């Protein structure tokens, strides 16, 4: 897997904004990506140094569409911790 295929999109929510104050940033990542690939992708894309990567699979939700139940797909989420003083400019001012 190429490093630019690992990170899908940044997750910008109220909860993740609170984590940014502690140097933690959240991303949606590819299902096949592992912690080492995520670490390398963030370091290369944003030119920062990563100390820790936490990965979780977010299960899909059941929804009702036109009288039947449909399951939305599961996806993978990564929370990346940077070294103290490190920032990702993409998240600033959002």
In the structure encoding, which two tokens stand for residue 6, read together? 């690992």
In the structure encoding, which two tokens stand for residue 73, read together? 């797909």
In the structure encoding, which two tokens stand for residue 30, read together? 């590819």
Q: What is the pLDDT of residue 70?
A: 93
In b/e form, how buried is each residue of 68-84, taking b as 16+ CB within 10 angstroms? Answer: eeeeeeeebbbbbbbee
Is pLDDT at 90 greater than 90 in this prediction? no
Work out the pLDDT band at 13, boundaries 50, 70, 90: very high
Residue 14, CA atoms < 13 Å, CB-side half-sphere:
0
Question: 3-84 sits in which CATH class?
Answer: alpha beta
Q: What residues does each domain of the chain span?
A: 3-84
Work out the pLDDT band at 2, boundaries 50, 70, 90: confident
């Amino acid at each position: 897997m190429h490093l630019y295929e690992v990170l899908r999109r940044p997750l910008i929510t109220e909860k993740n904004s609170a984590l940014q104050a502690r140097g933690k940033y959240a991303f949606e990542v590819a299902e096949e990506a592992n912690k080492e690939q995520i670490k390398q992708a963030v370091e290369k894309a944003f030119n920062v140094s990563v100390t820790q990567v936490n990965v979780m699979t977010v299960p899909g939700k059941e929804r009702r569409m036109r009288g039947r139940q449909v399951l939305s797909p599961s996806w993978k989420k990564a929370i990346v911790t940077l070294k103290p003083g490190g920032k990702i400019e993409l998240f600033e001012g959002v």
